[in-house]
Amino acid sequence: MDNAKRQKQIRQLVINLTLFILVAIWTIPTLGIFVSSFRNRDDIASTGWWKILPHREWQPVREIIPADLGLNPDAPMEIEGVTGTFEEFRAGVETPDEKRITWIGNKRIGKIEVQEQVWAVSWNFTLDNYEQVLGGQDFEFTRPDGTVEIVPGDNMVGAFLNSLAVAIPSTVIPILIAAFAAYAFAWMDFQGRRWMFIMVVALLVVPLQIALVPILRDYKALQLNGTFLAIWLAHTGFGLALATYLLYNYISGLPRDILESAFIDGASHFTVFTRLILPLSVPALASFAIFQFLWVWNDYLVALIFLGGNPEFELVTQRMAAIVGSRGSEWHLLTAGAFVSMLLPLLVFFSLQRYFVRGLLAGSVKG
Amino acid sequence: MDILRSRKELDQSLGARLVSWIGRVLLAIGIPAIAFLVLYQGFLFLRDSDAPRGLIALVAIIWGVGGVAILYWIFNTLVERLPDVWRIRLLPFVFVGPAMAILAWYLAIPTLRTFWISLFDRNGPPDGLSFFQLLSSDSFVGLRNYVAVFTDDLMREAFRNNLMWIVFGSTFSVVFGLLIATLADRSSFEKLAKSLIFLPMAISFVGASIIWNFIYEFRPANQEQIGLLNAIIVGLGGTPEAFPQWVDIAPWNNLFLIVIVIWLQAGFAMVLFSAALKGIPEELLEAGRIDGATEIQIFFRIMIPYIQGTIISVWTTIIIFTLKIFDVVWVMTGGQFGTHVIATQFYRQSFTNSNSGFGSAIAIVLLIAVVPVMIYNLKQFREREVF
pLDDT tens-digit profile of B75-132? 888 888 877 777 888 888 888 888 998 999 999 999 999 999 999 888 878 877 778 8
pLDDT at A178 over 90: yes
Give kind and range of the element (H or E) at residue A118: strand A111-120
The residue with greater pLDDT, A139 or A182, is A182
Q: What values do phi and psi take at B296, rounded to 5?
A: -70, -40
Residue A57, sorted as left (phi over 0), alpha (psi -120 to 50) or beta, turns out to be beta
Distance between CA atoms of residues A29 and B260, nearest Å = 10
Which of these ranges, A191-200, B51-60, B72-81, B355-364, has the smallest mean pLDDT?
Answer: B51-60
Please give, one letter per residue, the 3-state secondary structure of chain B: CHHHHHHHHCCCCHHHHHHHHHHHHHHHHHHHHHHHHHHHHHHHHHHHCCCCHHHHHHHHHHHHHHHHHHHHHHHHHHHHCCCHHHHHHHHHHHHHHHHHHHHHHHHHHHHHHHHHHHCECCCCCCCCCCHHHHHHCCCECCCHHHHHHHHCHHHHHHHHHHHHHHHHHHHHHHHHHHHHHHHHHHCCCHHHHHHHHHHHHHCCHHHHHHHHHHHHCCCCCCCCCCCHHHHHHHHCCCCCCCHHHCHHHCCCCHHHHHHHHHHHHHHHHHHHHHHHHHCCCHHHHHHHHHCCCCHHHHHHHHHHHHCHHHHHHHHHHHHHHHHCCCHHHHHHCCCCCCCCCHHHHHHHHHHHCCCHHHHHHHHHHHHHHHHHHHHHHHHHHHHHCCC
Q: How far is B250 from chain A (nearest CA, A)?
A: 22
Q: Are B24 and B90 in contact (CB under 8 A)?
A: yes
CA distance A342 to chain B (A): 6
Does residue B221 lie in a domain region? yes
A-B C-beta contacts closer than 8 Å:
342
Q: How far is the alpha carbon of A150 from chain B, nearest alpha carbon, in Å? A: 24
Shortest distance, CA B248 to any CA of chain A (angstroms): 22
Chain B hits for A293, CB-CB cut-off 8 Å, are none
| Together in a domain, B171 and B221 | yes
pLDDT at B9: 45
**Alpha carbon distance B253, B266 (integer Å):** 21
> Does B103 lie at the interface with A, CB-CB under 8 angstroms?
yes
CA angle B344, B349, B352 (to 5 degrees): 90
The answer as to whether B105 is a domain residue is no
Structural domain boundaries, residue B25 = 2-100
CB B362 within 8 A of CB B149: yes
In a domain, B286, yes or no: no
Integer Cα distance of B164 and B92 in angstroms: 47
Residue B354 has pLDDT above 60, yes or no: yes
Q: Is residue B136 part of a domain?
A: yes
A332 chain-B contacts, CB cut-off 8 A: none
Q: What is the pLDDT of residue A137?
A: 63
**B contacts of A183 (beta carbons < 8 Å):** 95
Q: What's the rounded mean pLDDT across residues A23-27?
A: 93
Cβ-Cβ contacts under 8 Å, B58 against chain A: 165
**B51 with B88, same domain?**
yes
User: With an 8 Å Cβ cutoff, is B333 touching chain A?
Assistant: no
Over residues B141-189, the pLDDT tens digits come to 888 889 988 998 889 999 999 999 999 999 999 999 999 999 998 888 8
Q: Spell out the domain ranges in chain A.
A: 1-36, 54-120, 156-361
Nearest CA in chain A to B107: A211
Q: Give yes or no for a contact between A159 and A315, defined as CB atoms under 8 angstroms apart.
A: yes
- At B46, is the pLDDT very low, low, confident or very high (cuts 50, 70, 90)? low
Pick from A240, A324, A357: CB nearest B102 = A240
Instruction: Work out the pLDDT band at A151, boundaries 50, 70, 90.
Output: low
ipTM value for the complex: 0.84
- Predicted confidence at residue A68, as pLDDT, reads 72
Residue of A nearest to B47 (CA): A227
b/e per residue B319-350 (b: at least 16 CB within 10 A): bbbbbbbbbbbbbbbebebbbbbbbbbbbbbb
Phi, psi of B120 (to 5 degrees): -115, 170
Assigned domain for B289 exists = no
B98 CB within 8 Å of a chain A CB: yes
Claim to verify: residue B191 and residue B218 sit in the same structural domain: yes
| Residue range B129-141: mean pLDDT, rounded | 81
Do B222 and B96 share a structural domain? no
Assess if residue B77 is contained within a domain: yes
The pLDDT tens digits for B245-285 are: 777 777 888 899 999 999 999 988 998 898 888 888 888 88
| CB-closest option in A48, A162, A197 to B231 | A48
Q: Give the residue among A78, A76, A82 at the shortest CA–CA distance from A97.
A: A82
pLDDT greater than 60 at residue A366: no
Same domain, B96 and B221: no
Asked if A162 and B57 count as a contact pair (C-beta separation under 8 A), the reply is yes
Nearest CA-CA distance, residue B130 and chain A, Å = 19
Residues A43-52 have a mean pLDDT of: 81
CB-based contacts of B164, cutoff 8 Å, min separation 6 = B251, B254, B255, B258
User: Do B189 and B268 belong together in one domain?
Assistant: yes
| Residues A156-361, CATH architecture | Orthogonal Bundle (1.10)
Per residue in A228-279, pLDDT tens? Answer: 888 888 999 999 999 999 899 888 888 888 888 888 888 888 888 888 888 9
**Are B58 and B179 in a shared domain?**
no
Burial class (CB in 10 A: 0-12, 13-18, 19+), A29: buried
B215 and B349, same domain (yes or no): yes
Split at pLDDT 50, 70, 90, the class of A145 is low
Total count of domains within chain B? 3
The percentage of chain B sitting over the pLDDT mark of 90, rounded to a whole number, equals 23
Task: Judge if pTM exceeds 0.90.
Answer: no
A131 pLDDT higher than 60: yes
Domain check: are B257 and B147 in the same one?
no
Q: Is B91 in the A-facing interface, judged by CB distances under 8 Å?
A: yes
pLDDT given at position A28: 92
The answer for residues whose C-beta is within 8 angstroms of residue B247's C-beta and 6 or more apart is B253, B337, B338
Provide, as residue numbers in chain B, all residues whose Cβ is less than 8 Å from the Cβ of A50: 228, 231
The answer to whether the peptide bond before residue B251 is cis (omega within 30 degrees of 0) is yes
Q: Are A338 and B211 in contact (CB < 8 Å)?
A: yes
Q: Do B114 and A211 touch (CB under 8 A)?
A: yes
Please state, in angstroms and rounded to a whole number, the distance separating the CA atoms of residues A101 and A114: 5
Chain A environment of B370 (Cβ under 8 Å): 205-207, 367
Q: Is residue B323 less than 8 Å (CB to CB) from chain A?
A: yes
Q: Is residue B265 part of a domain?
A: yes
Q: What is the pLDDT of residue B98?
A: 86
Same-domain status, B188 and B230: yes
